[in-house]
Amino acid sequence: MLTIPAAILTGLALALPVEPPADVRLDAREQRAVLEAIVDALDARYFQPGAEEPYLARLEELARAAGPEVEADAFALTVHRALQAVQRDGHLGVYGPERARRLLGSEHHTGEPDHAADGIESDHGDADGQGAAWFEHHSLPGAVDLFTLPEFPGNADAAEQLIAALATVPADSALIFDLRGNMGGEAALFRHLSGCLFDSRQPLFAVRWREGETFRLAVSETVPDARCVHLADTPMAVLVDGRTGSVGELMPFILQARSRAVIVGTPTYGASHAAELEALPHGFALMVPVGATHDPLTGADWEGSGVSPDILTDPDAAVTTALNVLSAMRL
């Protein structure tokens, strides 16, 4: 079974050896092979040993019930829904050949921590640092700078682009970060960004990784960046909605906990676990949660609950609401 660590999910370009036909079908034996591989992966790697037992029991039921041929992607959806019905986990996913081929053969990251950088990591490509920026930056009336971040790319060029743009923002400008629809990426970028938002070193987020039968606690901290730390005290709002997930939630969760930003919009998706992607038999893939992300100061996380905005508003009105909030903060 091929395991793709979260650390290399960003920028991954792994080609599967065979292009499976669009109408792949599985007989009962093949269905059981996929289910048994999922059982093995969860048993060995699920971030909280013992907590995977209800999932395993459901998979064994599905294996016993395996019957006539089924279409592969429909089978994957059935298994996925069965697992989520046991207990929802925003980073536990089963993908059929069509979806797995895209995840394994494209630049993919999932809202999970990066082992190498203690970062976290949806289905987005990376910025390559060349040409147009991967984000949008607009200067709004009233000395407000709006940054729209559709994702959190994992490469160094992406972070450098964003830091360079923030370095040009005047110290007396307020900030809005628009994370509506941002389903994640790598938390390494948020760690770099935090160097513009805090003027002292402090714990930022932590991940308790399962590594075989042991665990490793990785704590990331914010390191002030001289190029943009002049923004550490500027008024700030972060916009979120129900499609803000994974690392897209990490940023508002931590900034809210540190009283550093006002969160505006609707509650976020609620997926905080760290996960890694594994290739399964017959072209399938499994995203298996292997770590628990939390605030190292409080131990709290956002799994299942999401981030509750400080100011609830229709996402379509979030920018206007944020502008009004920032204006009031400056009075």
DSSP labels for 109-174?
A: --S--BTTTTB-----PPP-SSSS-SSEEEEETTTEEEEE-S-B--SHHHHHHHHHHHHTS-TT-E
Please give the CATH topology (third level) of the domain spanning 136-272+291-330. 2-enoyl-CoA Hydratase; Chain A, domain 1 (3.90.226)
The set of residues, in sequence order, having a beta carbon less than 8 Å from that of 329 and lying 6+ positions away, is: 174, 235, 262
Determine how β-strand 136-140 pairs with β-strand 236-240. unpaired
Scanning the structure block, which residue is given the tokens 């941002």? 182
- The per-residue pLDDT for range 138-180, each reduced to its tens digit, is 999 999 999 999 999 988 899 999 999 999 999 999 999 999 9
Average of per-residue pLDDT across 96-117: 60
Which amino acid would we find at residue 318? A
H helices within the chain, ranges in order?
28-45, 53-64, 72-86, 97-105, 156-167, 187-197, 247-257, 318-330
Percent of the chain topping pLDDT 90: 78
Q: Average model confidence (pLDDT) for the chain?
A: 87
d(CA 204, CA 40): 33
**Residue-wise burial string across 297-322, b where 16 or more C-beta atoms lie within 10 A, e elsewhere:** eeeebbbeebbebbeebebeebbebb
d(CA 41, CA 125): 26
How is the chain split into domains, by residue range? Answer: 2-105, 136-272+291-330
Q: Assign 24 a pLDDT band (cuts: 50, 70, 90).
A: confident
| Integer-rounded Cα radius of gyration of the chain | 21
pLDDT for position 248 = 96
Kind and range of the H or E element at 79?
helix 72-86
Q: Assign 7 a pLDDT band (cuts: 50, 70, 90).
A: very low
Residue 121 has pLDDT above 90, yes or no: no
d(CA 193, CA 180): 18
d(CA 92, CA 111): 12
- The per-residue pLDDT for range 40-54, each reduced to its tens digit, is 999 999 999 999 999
Average of per-residue pLDDT across 18-27: 67
Q: CA quadruple 321, 171, 154, 5: dihedral positive or negative?
A: negative
| Residue 67: count of CB within 10 angstroms of its CB | 8
- Nearest by Cα to 119 from 31, 11, 212: 11
| Candidate from 58-67, 106-115, 256-265 with smallest mean pLDDT | 106-115
Q: Assign 292 a pLDDT band (cuts: 50, 70, 90).
A: very high
What predicted TM-score, i.e. pTM, was given to this entire model? 0.84
d(CA 157, CA 316): 31
State how far the alpha carbon of 275 is from the alpha carbons of 126, 210, 323, in Å. Answer: 19, 10, 36
| Candidate from 63-72, 99-108, 161-170, 248-257 with smallest mean pLDDT | 99-108
Residue 302 has pLDDT above 50, yes or no: yes
SS3 category, 224? coil
Kind and range of the H or E element at 80?
helix 72-86
Please answer whether residues 81 and 55 qualify as being in contact, where contact means their C-beta atoms are separated by less than 8 angstroms.
no
End-to-end CA distance of the chain: 59
DSSP at 321:
H
Scanning the structure block, which residue is given the tokens 């490793």? 216
- Nearest by Cα to 14 from 281, 328, 278, 233: 278
- Paired tokens of 192: 């770099």
- The per-residue pLDDT for range 199-258, each reduced to its tens digit, is 999 999 999 999 989 999 999 999 999 999 999 999 999 999 999 999 999 999 999 999
